[in-house]
Chains A and B, each alone.
Chain A
Amino acid sequence: MRRLRHWGPGLLLLSPSLILLAVFVYGLIAWTTKVSVSDEHNALGSKGFAGLENYTNLFTNDINDRFVHSLKNLLIFTLVFLAGTMFFGLLWAFLLERGVRAEGFFRTVYLFPMAVSFIASGVVWRWLMNPNKGDNAGGLNAVLGGLRLDFLQSTWWTDPDWGMASMALPAIWQLSGYVMALFLAGFRGIPQELREAAAMDGASTYRLYRNVIFPQLTPVALSALIIVGHMSMKMFDLIMSVSGPQWLTEVPAIYVWQALLTSDYAKAAAISVVLLLLVAVVIVPYLIYTNRAEKTS
């Protein structure tokens, strides 16, 4: 009774959000999983249990290997997106940390693109990444043409092999500032004493960063990778507004939407579950890691 008094009110206060989570997150995940093993392929509804057939069909029996193609697109997009945001985020944070003038101004400038919605920036990037070259060039290609840098003109996202790398450009532009903010917080969190101690030991600036500061940034880098990585895997709105739904730039999230539009609920649910598992592969180890880190500290 005493113990109940101790944690009872807290549990009671938490219960609304726990119930909502149970119903609207975990309940719906369970429901989606149930649909994904059914044969609900049209508006008629489910006639029975299909087992893992929907999943094996996605990987082995999809027309034109559509699903595997969408996974490949997602992989290229994610790699470029992660590398780009980490590089620019770290670079900008490093420059600001070295103490440039008007830091507040630059910080705002770099962070601001994050405030724009992917839909709005996608429309603009659709114009910028106009695939025409030469006389018909528009957007970035026209700028490059005007600078006599014609050899740099590109077909951007319409390139069949590396188009998804171009698709990552707007995403990098938008989220580098956020990664910068994370790193900047990381830099600021390193106690001044460590720097002073390194200086006393006669460490060069290179040594200071290489052996003292960067190792301290590992948790921040990991957080940034997780946050940007899971955003990348669920990417939908940006691609919808740059290219629209089409084969060339299809990623699993868009495939889900297309399958839903054609009432193929089982297939849409199966793709959603695969996507959930992909994100979980990244997120769950991170949660375990932070859990342990919090316990030891």
Chain B
Amino acid sequence: MRLTRRAAVAAVGVAALLTATACGADDGGGGSGAKTVEVFTWWADGGEKAGLDGLVSQFTTDCAGQTFQNGAVAGGAGANAKTVLASRLQQNLPPDTFQAHAGAELSDYILAGQVEDLSADYDTWGLKTAFPKGLIDNLTVEGKIYSVPANIHRANVVWTNKKVLANAGITKAPTDLAGFFADLDKVKAKGIAAPLAVGKDWTQLMLFESVLISDLGPDKFTGLWNGGTDWNDAGVTKAINDFKQLLTYTNTDRDALDWTDAEKLVMDGKAGYQLMGDWEAADLDAKKFADYDYFTFPGNGDTFQWLADSFVLPKGAKNVDGTKCWLKTVGSAAGQKAFNTKKGSIPARTDAAPADYPKYQQAAMADWKSFKQVPSCAHGSACSQGWQGAANSALGAFSTKQDVAGLQKALAAAAQQFVKK
């Protein structure tokens, strides 16, 4: 009798435990009907959120009957969102559209067949003429386009502290690397030990890419990322040596700093220069620092190194019509204006009215139309995420070891591993 009671207790206990665990498995779908467009981004606050809100209000006007559903995942500069996205794609539960850097960073999704070809829609929406040809070329993968860029940022811009430069007697921007070195020496002579502010690995990669553009020219530079240029090229060796020399002008605690920390060095007058993407303009304005100026990285000439956030149509999206309407809004003149005036970037379209934008953006828009477009690896338009990770790691190692041959070998190995065959 006692034994049976023990057995009964055990059976009840097990049953209770099993039901408790089974409760975890309900459907996570959330019942989005055919009229809802779930937009998956990592834009959760600041100027990015404001830009998204602008885009949403335009979407509500343009696409009557469709409802916007915010699927933003905050944090980690997109790293959190990307992991959530990866698991949703694996479970075949994609959002109706998601944010991704335009260009090569999409290649993983394209390879896996997770995003749809939008080339035909580009023709319908007239985007092939609205976007500059250089951008269309960079976006095209084996004759197909998979994403609609919402904005354009520029990577190869040097930001300066006017006061520091005036103290050193520098009146105009250098046009080549030799001139830049001379100016850096002048600032250094005024007692500023590290005139060029830089941060951890990816900011060093941005700086290095700018040097590569100067030493190789835009065409050979683009070739580095699509297999057209050999990384063992003598021009790359020269660029690494120039980059090594540039690092001697930078702060020694660079690996401990993020880009905003390096920006603060410029604002505080502890450095004169910083190379950073043009989101720095919006950031400096937001921090009420007016004493700044900017120029294209010396030797880059008429090269516009771009990066962009874009939206895609995932395979298996529940509401294809709604998503296409969202993508059309993203690419439209009104949508790009609504987004970019708030986010501090420029529209990818060349037909936007400059008067709607702040001062820096007006200049960038003019350059965007006439300059030569090249992609950026640090921001995913030139290389896949794996390649980007390998390049960041190689630059991080170079920051401590300063081994020129080692960096070239590492980058060549990375290219061999990741370049599209």
Residues of A in contact with B (beta carbons under 8 Å apart): 5, 8-10, 12-13, 15-16, 20, 41-45, 63-64, 66, 69, 126, 130-132, 136, 155, 157-158, 160, 243-244, 246-248, 250, 258-264
Contact = CB atoms under 8 A, between A and B. Distances in A.
Contacts of B417: 63
Contacts of A264: 386
A133 to B, nearest CB: 9
A160 B401 contact: yes
A247 B396 contact: yes
Contacts of A246: 200-201, 255, 392-393, 396
A42 B112 contact: yes
Interface of B: 3, 6-7, 9-11, 13-14, 17-18, 21, 79, 82-83, 86, 89, 108-109, 111-112, 114, 200-201, 252-253, 255-256, 258, 270, 384-386, 388-390, 392-397, 399-401, 406, 410, 413-414, 417
A44 B13 contact: no
Nearest to B400: A160
A63 B393 contact: yes
29 contacts: A8-B7, A10-B10, A12-B7, A12-B10, A13-B10, A13-B14, A16-B18, A16-B21, A43-B89, A43-B112, A45-B112, A63-B393, A63-B394, A63-B410, A63-B413, A63-B414, A63-B417, A64-B394, A131-B252, A157-B256, A160-B401, A244-B200, A246-B201, A246-B393, A247-B395, A248-B255, A261-B389, A262-B386, A263-B386
A262 B384 CA distance: 8
Contacts of B111: 42-44
Contacts, number: 110
Contact of B82 (A41, A44, A243, A261): A261
Nearest to B393: A247
Nearest to B4: A5
Given A43-B108, A43-B112, A248-B400, A262 B385 contact: yes
Contacts of B18: 16
Given A131-B252, A243-B256, A12 B14 contact: yes
A261 B83 contact: yes
Contacts of A8: 7
Nearest to B416: A63
A103 B79 CA distance: 46
A180 to B, nearest CB: 31
A44 B112 contact: yes
Contacts of B82: 261
B397 A64 contact: yes
B389 A258 contact: yes
Contacts of A13: 10, 13-14
Nearest to B388: A262
A5 B252 CA distance: 72
Contact of A131 (B256, B388, B394, B406): B256
Contacts of B3: 5, 9
Of the listed residues A8, A9, A130, A250, the one surrounded by the most CB atoms of chain B closer than 10 A to its CB is: A9
A12 B10 CA distance: 6
Contact of B109 (A5, A10, A43, A69): A43
Contacts of A258: 389, 393
A263 B256 contact: no
A249 to B, nearest CB: 9
Nearest to A138: B253
A256 B64 CA distance: 46
Contacts of B21: 16, 20
A160 B255 CA distance: 11
A264 to B, nearest CB: 6
Of the listed residues B6, B21, B401, the one surrounded by the most CB atoms of chain A closer than 10 A to its CB is: B6
A246 B399 CA distance: 11
Nearest to B412: A63
Nearest to A267: B386
A10 B108 CA distance: 50
Contacts of A45: 112
Contacts of B385: 261-263
Contact of B201 (A5, A130, A247): A247
Of the listed residues B9, B10, B86, the one surrounded by the most CB atoms of chain A closer than 10 A to its CB is: B10
A41 B421 CA distance: 15
Of the listed residues B3, B89, B252, B256, the one surrounded by the most CB atoms of chain A closer than 10 A to its CB is: B256
A262 B114 contact: no
A295 B337 CA distance: 76
Given A16-B21, A261-B79, A130 B413 contact: no
A15 B14 contact: yes
Nearest to B17: A16
Contacts of A248: 255, 396, 399-400
Given A247-B201, A263-B86, A9 B389 contact: no
B361 to A, nearest CB: 30
Nearest to B194: A136
Given A64-B394, A263-B385, 10 more contacts: A13-B13, A41-B386, A42-B111, A64-B410, A66-B393, A130-B253, A160-B401, A246-B201, A246-B396, A262-B385
A244 B406 CA distance: 23
Of the listed residues A15, A64, A160, the one surrounded by the most CB atoms of chain B closer than 10 A to its CB is: A64
A262 B399 CA distance: 22
Q: Which 7 pairs between the two chains have the least Cβ-Cβ distance?
A: A247-B396, A43-B112, A262-B386, A160-B400, A9-B10, A131-B253, A16-B17
